[in-house]
Structure 1
Amino acid sequence: MKTLSAINALPYEHAAQAIEVYHRTILEGFRAFVHHNSALLLSTKIPAKRAVVVFGSDHGLCGGYNERLADELFKQLERHGPDAIPARVLCVGTRMKYALVARGILTEQTSLPPASADGIGRLAGILATQIEDITRQSGPDPIAVDLAFTERTAGSAQEPVLRRLLPLDSKMIADLVDQPWVSRSLPCFTMPASDLLAELVIGHLFSSLFRASAEAMVTENAARLALMQQAEQSIDDRLEELKAETRSVRQSEITTELLDIIAGFEALSKRRPRPAMASNYPTQR
């Protein structure tokens, strides 16, 4: 299982790196759009609906992977208070669904996690369609979408995160506005600005869902690998303890046997009659 987890994590890691390159291309498209249109106008309306996509594990032997993410999501939803917009939860993984239900978080739809790196695109497409359906149901009102998944941190650690997907991050847009276009040719496009913006948002949505799914699969296999290593180390430590205990018991048995031999020898020595001492005087006749 340890070797299998190490092998399985590598394709997902490559997929996460590849989608990062694609996402940077999408951001460059946003930069070109912002440069051509002076600024990207973001909606200031309060979102009428909220959706959360939770990426969990559907396999065992990975410790409290799902439980930690469910606890973090429960804390985040609890901070908004009872007057907050009810979140429509889209879940990835049946075990993740059970962990959420145990904390009072009902899921609207549950999808199966990808069985391989080739299935990440399929899952991202399904989730994008589900988000589009929720957006269509909200009508002209904006919708807030968050991604909840486990992310790698420095030092090979992991932590659950809740990241905003929609509306577009205002800080990200502000950074794009501040960055000058460093090129000998200015960006230009021929398609309508609204259509281009819609395509860029769709690309941003797909790449973010793809990356979150790939990152979740990497951390899941990493958690399983770490758990297997801990189990292996625990077994080795227990074996050493048993060997030490066996040596101690054997040494005690040897000591007991030697003491029994010495005690028996002393007991036999005390019972043996002493020989009569010869007299130095001559016998009278």
Structure 2
Amino acid sequence: MTESLRHIKSRIKSVENTWKITRAMEMISVSKLRRVQDLLFAMRRYFGKTDNLLENLLAERPDFSHPLLNAEVNTGRAAVCVVTSDSGLCGLYNDRVLKAAADFISRYPSDTVKIIAVGRKGFSYFKRKGFAVERAYLGLHGRLQPEPLRELTVFLKGIFLKKEVDEVYMVYTRFQSSMRYIPTIDRLFPVYVSSQIPDEPAYYLFEPDHPQLLDELLSAYVSEKIRLLLLEAFTAEHSERTIAMKSATDNAKDLIEGLVIFKNKVRQAAITKDVLEVISTVEALKG
């Protein structure tokens, strides 16, 4: 009985240590989620304004041509950038986006697809499945870092402009709410911007000239879109990890309560047994 109590106490101590770890990770995830969520909401508003401005400018110049706006899409060769996390403990976040990416990639012959991995989980997955990973960006850990973002943007734009691929896609998780995340496939190149003439068109005076302005605006548009999609993915990652850690913390707490009740029952049974033995001994001596 003593050994049983010692074992139960050891289990309680072990689960309490786990509870402390998951609780700390939950608090860290909540802090990261708040920070990246604020960035995401601000970026959505900013990108919406940029998109609207580009639409208006292109509507005024429907004859404007640019390599990034090539409307003819040859679906023979594609680059697919897959955004996953660098670490685990975030529920089904990686499983869902990797399944969507694998289903999409399966539409192409294996020798016509370039895979770019953002996040260690995606990189490991494609290596394990035997895919060649063209470029990997690891160690971001859900943080938007300027240098990797710039390198990723330059690389994706470069392989499209050099005609190494005909299309560039990003597979990521779109953040809808703290309980809803949607694996999404978004085409980056060629850039699609609606050139429909608005009901109330805006009139602009251009400085510098119209083509130069559109060229610079397109470059900014591409960079900000990639930034936005990464923020969507990072926000979903931190949200999933927060929920997973909260669930683990609650489960550990419930397990501790159950073990404490079980320990008390075992201890009470041991006390009852000792009392019965004393009573039996006394009765035997009387007899």
Question: TM-score by structure 2 length?
Answer: 0.75
1:181 maps to which residue? Answer: 200
1:46 to 74, 79, 83: 74
Q: Deviations over 1:187-219 (max 9, x none)?
A: 353555544443333222111110122222223
Which ranges in structure 1 are unaligned for 5 or more consecutive residues? 272-285
2:84 maps to which residue? Answer: 56
Q: Identity over the aligned pairs, expressed in percent?
A: 21
Assess if the C-alpha contact under 8 Å between 2:30 and 2:242 holds in 1.
Answer: yes
Assess if the C-alpha contact under 8 Å between 1:9 and 1:221 holds in 2.
Answer: yes
Q: Which amino acid aligns with 2:183?
A: P
1:205 to 222, 226, 231: 222
**What is the SS of the residue equivalent to 1:247?**
helix
1:278 maps to which residue? Answer: none
1:255, 1:39 → 2: CA distance? Answer: 93
1:35, 1:188 → 2: CA distance? Answer: 15
Assess if the C-alpha contact under 8 Å between 2:81 and 2:116 holds in 1.
Answer: yes
Assess if the C-alpha contact under 8 Å between 1:6 and 1:225 holds in 2.
Answer: yes
2:4 maps to which residue? Answer: none
2:26 maps to which residue? Answer: 2
1:268, 1:111 → 2: CA distance? Answer: 81
**What is the SS of the residue equivalent to 1:177?**
coil
2:175 maps to which residue? Answer: 152
Q: Which amino acid aligns with 1:69?
A: V
Deviation, structure 1 residue 258: 3.9
Q: Which amino acid aligns with 1:239?
A: I
Question: TM-score by structure 1 length?
Answer: 0.76
1:107 maps to which residue? Answer: 133
- Residues 189-228 of structure 1 aligned to structure 2 (within 5 Å): 189=206, 191=208, 193-228=210-245
Deviation, structure 1 residue 2: 2.6
Q: Deviations over 1:135-174 (max 9, x none)?
A: 23317xx7211111222233433343222222334xx61x
Deviation, structure 1 residue 63: 4.7
Structure 1 residues 39 and 113, CA gap change in structure 2 (3 angstroms): farther
1:127 to 140, 152, 155: 152
1:154, 1:20 → 2: CA distance? Answer: 14
**What is the SS of the residue equivalent to 2:187?**
strand
Matched, 1:162 2:181: no
1:77 maps to which residue? Answer: 105
Q: Which amino acid aligns with 1:54?
A: V
1:21 maps to which residue? Answer: 45
2:14 maps to which residue? Answer: none
Structure 1 residues 102 and 6, CA gap change in structure 2 (3 angstroms): same
Assess if the C-alpha contact under 8 Å between 1:148 and 1:161 holds in 2.
Answer: yes
Assess if the C-alpha contact under 8 Å between 1:23 and 1:207 holds in 2.
Answer: yes
**What is the SS of the residue equivalent to 2:135?**
strand
Structure 1 residues 111 and 134, CA gap change in structure 2 (3 angstroms): same
Deviation, structure 1 residue 246: 0.8
Which ranges in structure 2 are unaligned for 5 or more consecutive residues? 1-24
Deviation, structure 1 residue 134: 0.6
Deviation, structure 1 residue 88: 0.9
Deviation, structure 1 residue 118: 6.3
Q: Which amino acid aligns with 1:226?
A: I
CA RMSD of aligned residues (A): 3.1
Q: Which amino acid aligns with 1:246?
A: K
Q: Deviations over 1:248-280 (max 9, x none)?
A: 1122223333443454455455x3xxxxxxxxx
1:17, 1:38 → 2: CA distance? Answer: 31
Structure 1 residues 28 and 189, CA gap change in structure 2 (3 angstroms): farther
Structure 1 residues 39 and 143, CA gap change in structure 2 (3 angstroms): same
2:205, 2:76 → 1: CA distance? Answer: 35
Q: Which amino acid aligns with 2:72?
A: T
**What is the SS of the residue equivalent to 1:168?**
coil
2:151, 2:84 → 1: CA distance? Answer: 16
**What is the SS of the residue equivalent to 2:259?**
helix
2:102, 2:141 → 1: CA distance? Answer: 27
Matched, 1:136 2:164: no
**What is the SS of the residue equivalent to 2:162?**
helix
Assess if the C-alpha contact under 8 Å between 2:86 and 2:141 holds in 1.
Answer: no
